[in-house]
Amino acid sequence: MRPDLDHLVDGLARDLDARLADVDAALAAHYPGERAGRQPVHTVYVPADRFHPGLVGDHGAAALAAVEQHEDRLLALLDGDRDLLSLVRAKLGREPVEDLRIDFEDGYGTRPDEEEDGDVRRAAGDLRAALDGGAAAPFTGIRFKGFEAPTRARGVRTLTLFLAGLVEHGPLPQGFVVTLPKVTAVEQVEALVHVAARLEPELGLDDGTLRFEIQVETPQSILGPDGSALVARMVHASAGRCTGLHYGTYDYSAACGIAAAHQSLEHPVADHAKAVMQAAAAGTGVRLSDGSTNVLPVGGPDEVTAAWANHLRLVRRSLERGFYQGWDLHPAQLSTRFAATFGFYRDGLASAADRLRTYVERRDSGILDEPATARALADFLLRGTDCGALSQDEVTGRTGLDAHRLARLAHRAHGEAG
C-alpha cells in the first residue's frame, strides 16, 4: 500500500473509532457475553410448606425407588442402554437436584399473612440448616408473589423476611436467586432492582449480590402495546441483576386462550414466546429455562411409562432448541430429566469432540467450522461435563483440550459461579 494511502486509512480508522465510541460502549454494556460457570439442567419447584432440610435427599431416594419399581419400563424407553441408566442412578444418588426453588407463589397459594410469615421464617431456617449440613442443592432460591397490585405487598414481605432469616446465621449462598413471576411491565423489573438495592445494605450484603430470574408467563412480557418485545427491555432494565428467563408453560398458554388439553411446551404459542426470549437473551449473559410438563409419572406402570416417555421427548426437544434448563415438579421426573440430558450429550460427544479437535489442529475435513461453531462445540462439551454426562478425561482424550482451554474456546471463564 502506498504511503499516502496508509495515512488515509489511519485517519479513517481514527474517525470511525471516534464516531462509534458510544456505540461500542453501549454494545459492551448491554451484551457482555455468556455468563461464567455452570448452568443447572433443571429447577425443581417445591411448595414452601413442603420444604425441609432433607428434601433433596428425599427426592433422590424417591426417584431411585421409582426407577427400581419400573426399571424394565425405563430401560426400554432408553433403548436398553444400561450404561446410561447406570449414569442416571449415580446422579440420583449423588446430586438428584441441581437447582431448588422454594415456592411461595402458585405452588403455595394464597394464605393468611400469619401463616405465610410462619412458613417463610421456617423455610429460611430449614434452608440454612440444609446448607450448613451439606444437604442443599448446589443452586437455591425462592419464588415469591409478583409485583402486580393485588400481590405486591405480600411478595415484597415474603422476599424481605426470607432473606433476613437466611442471612441471620450465615452468608447468602453462592448461586442463590429469586424468581419474579407474572411480569407484565418493564417497571416491575425496575421495581425489583430498587428493592434489591434497598435490601442489600440493610441485610449487610454487598452491592449487586441479589440476583433474580424473570418468569415469562404473560403475553405482555413478550409483546408490548407498541408491538415491541418487552422481554428484551426487561433484561436491559435489570441493571445486570437478571440471571435467567424462565418460560411459564401453563400461565402463558392460558393467557393466550389455549384450551387446557392443548397446553404444552411444544405448542406453537410456546415456541413463539421462547424464540423471542432466546433472541432477547442472546449475548447478554442471561440464561434460558424452558417450563414444566404437568403430566406426572404416577399411578400404574402404564401411566408412569407414558409420562416418562413424554418427559424424555420434551426434555430432548428443549435441548435441541438451545434450552438447556427446564422445570421439574415431581421426584419421579428426575430420572427422565437426567436420562434425556445425559443421552443428549453422550450422543453428541464423538461428533462434537472430533470436530473441535479438527478445528483446533487446523486439519482438513468434510466440514469447515468457523470460530462461532467452535465456540458452540466447546460449550456443548463443557455443559456435558458440568452435569456429569461426560467425564473430563474422556473429553480431554478426544479433543486434546483441558477444561481451561475448552472454557476459553467457549468464551466463558472456567470454574466461576453461574
Tell whether 57 and 109 lie within a shared domain: yes
With respect to residue 417, please indicate whether it lies within any of the assigned structural domains. Answer: no
282-310 burial, b for 16+ CB within 10 Å, e for fewer? eebbbbbbbbbbebbbeeeeeebbebbbb
With respect to residue 6, please indicate whether it lies within any of the assigned structural domains. Answer: no
With respect to residue 14, please indicate whether it lies within any of the assigned structural domains. Answer: no
Beta strands in 239-299 (DSSP E): 242-247, 287-289
Tell whether 285 and 402 lie within a shared domain: no
Lowest mean pLDDT among 25-34, 179-188, 310-319: 25-34
Tell whether 176 and 234 lie within a shared domain: yes
Q: Per-residue pLDDT for 229 more than 70?
A: yes
Residue 247: the pLDDT is 98
Q: Per-residue pLDDT for 202 more than 90?
A: yes
Q: Per-residue pLDDT for 41 more than 50?
A: yes
Residue with cell 453422550: 346
Q: How far, in whole angstroms, is CA 9 from its chain's centroid?
A: 46
Tell whether 266 and 377 lie within a shared domain: no
- The whole-chain average pLDDT of the chain stands at 95
Tell whether 103 and 251 lie within a shared domain: yes
Tell whether 316 and 396 lie within a shared domain: no
Q: What is the CA radius of gyration of the chain?
A: 23
Number of structural domains, the chain?
Answer: 2
pLDDT digits (tens, 9 = 90+) for 342-384: 999 999 999 999 999 999 888 777 677 788 999 999 999 999 9
Tell whether 338 and 365 lie within a shared domain: no
Tell whether 63 and 196 lie within a shared domain: yes
Tell whether 224 and 323 lie within a shared domain: yes
Grid cell for residue 189: 423489573
Grid cell for residue 187: 417497571
With respect to residue 20, please indicate whether it lies within any of the assigned structural domains. Answer: no
Q: Which of 306, 329, 347 is the last residue of a domain?
A: 347
Tell whether 341 and 353 lie within a shared domain: no
How far apart are the C-alpha atoms of 282 and 210, rounded to whole Å?
22
Q: Per-residue pLDDT for 1 more than 70?
A: no
pLDDT digits (tens, 9 = 90+) for 314-337: 999 999 999 999 999 999 999 999
With respect to residue 211, please indicate whether it lies within any of the assigned structural domains. Answer: yes
| Average pLDDT value for residue range 117-125 | 98
For residue 267, what are the domain limits?
Answer: 42-347
* Band of pLDDT at residue 413, cut at 50, 70 and 90: low
User: What angle do the packed helices 113-132 and 152-167 form, to 10 degrees?
Assistant: 30
| Average pLDDT value for residue range 62-77 | 98
Residue 414: the pLDDT is 42
| Average pLDDT value for residue range 13-42 | 94
* Percent composition of the chain: helix, strand, coil (DSSP 3-state, to 5): 55, 10, 35
User: What percentage of the chain exceeds 70 in pLDDT?
Assistant: 97
* Band of pLDDT at residue 417, cut at 50, 70 and 90: very low
Q: Which helix (H) or strand (E) holds 103?
A: strand 99-103
| Average pLDDT value for residue range 191-218 | 97
* Band of pLDDT at residue 72, cut at 50, 70 and 90: very high
User: CB of 401 within 8 A of CB of 412?
Assistant: no
With respect to residue 28, please indicate whether it lies within any of the assigned structural domains. Answer: no
User: CB of 242 within 8 A of CB of 211?
Assistant: yes
Question: How many residues are listed for the chain in this entry?
Answer: 418
DSSP three-state, residue 29: helix
Tell whether 361 and 246 lie within a shared domain: no
Q: Which of 307, 331, 347 is the last residue of a domain?
A: 347
Tell whether 244 and 281 lie within a shared domain: yes
Residue 2: the pLDDT is 63
With respect to residue 7, please indicate whether it lies within any of the assigned structural domains. Answer: no
| Average pLDDT value for residue range 292-302 | 96
Phi, psi of 239, rounded to the nearest 5 degrees: 55, 35
> Which is higher by pLDDT, 174 or 362?
174
With respect to residue 46, please indicate whether it lies within any of the assigned structural domains. Answer: yes
CATH number for the domain spanning 51: value is 3.20.20.60
pLDDT digits (tens, 9 = 90+) for 247-282: 999 999 999 999 999 999 999 999 999 999 999 999
Q: Which helix (H) or strand (E) holds 47?
A: strand 42-47
Residue 3: the pLDDT is 65
* Band of pLDDT at residue 310, cut at 50, 70 and 90: very high
Q: Which of 347, 370, 388 is the last residue of a domain?
A: 347
Residue 376: the pLDDT is 94
